[in-house]
Amino acid sequence: MFSSSKFNETKIGFIGLGAIGKPMAKNLHIAGFILKVYNRTIDINDLEPMNISQACSSPIEVASDIDVLAICLPDEKAVEEVIFGDKGAINSLAERNIIVDFSTISPDSAKSFSSRCKQYNIDYIDAPVTGGTEGAINGSLSILLGGNYLAVEKIRPILSILGNNIHFFGESGSGQKVKAVNQVLVAGAYASLAEAIVLAQSLELPMEQVISSLSKGAGSSWALKNRSISMINDYYPLGFKLSLHNKDLDIALKVANRLGLDLAITKQIKLKEEELISLGYGDHDLSVLRKSFD
């Protein structure tokens, strides 16, 4: 497998067709890869009209007769279930297959999954992504990799369809460690943007002009450029769920706590997120943090 001249003949299984996973799978399909898909919360009959190649009814089915299994799921419990459960992919994957896991989970879980997969002579690569739905749709995600370097290199042409900022960080779990750092940065960027929006609106400033003038200055950020208008308009189209980011902050804080670090700002933002989740905003985009400053 992985012939450079016929790489798009590589057979890929894709599990997890959410806001990020679905456009990733579509981009692989458009690029010409042979694709099988499965989603835990979508009936197989509803998958068929998506036109993402072959729809399957279980992880064990999607993992049969493939070369690479891609996973994009909300948490480590879901990842463990689809790989190692009763109908898990591990029961039909072949030796020397590769699992590339785009989910955000704890570094320890990634290391554990990698170790368990090695018992089957299968490489597990942790590959959390960042860039939101925009990055998934445009194929411009940042992909943070940990695991076997040779396995990573084998699937690099697949990764290049999904992202344009691809980095390998070392042993299993390393990609997840970097993703934890990323989510702390994201927390600060969104929270400070929400506060800035509140201040500017209270000063009765022309908001769009304010955003335009600041987007090229020292205070610029991805959040400012991509989420400020939704905060201004009190409209939060889904890019990344608040509840999932809160789960990611829990991972980051546990990692920090183990190192004896007190991430005070991150803790406060996590509490604000939890307040909003308790009010029913968990499935809204993370930019809904703006409501915590009303």
Select from 122, 120, 127, 119 the least CA-distant residue to 172.
127
**266: its two tokens:** 């991150």
Q: Strand ranges (DSSP E) for the chain?
A: 11-15, 34-38, 54-55, 68-71, 98-101, 123-126, 129-130, 141-145, 163-168
Residue with tokens 């990323």: 182
Q: What are phi and psi of 34, to 5 degrees?
A: -75, 120
**2: its two tokens:** 């992985």
The SS3 assignment for 253 reads helix
User: Would you name the residues annotated as active-site residues?
Assistant: 179
Distances (CA, A) of 90 to 80, 117, 158, 254: 10, 8, 21, 29
**188: its two tokens:** 């600060």
Residue 87 and residue 59 in contact, taking contact as beta carbons nearer than 8 Å: yes
Select from 96, 187, 197 the least CA-distant residue to 150.
96
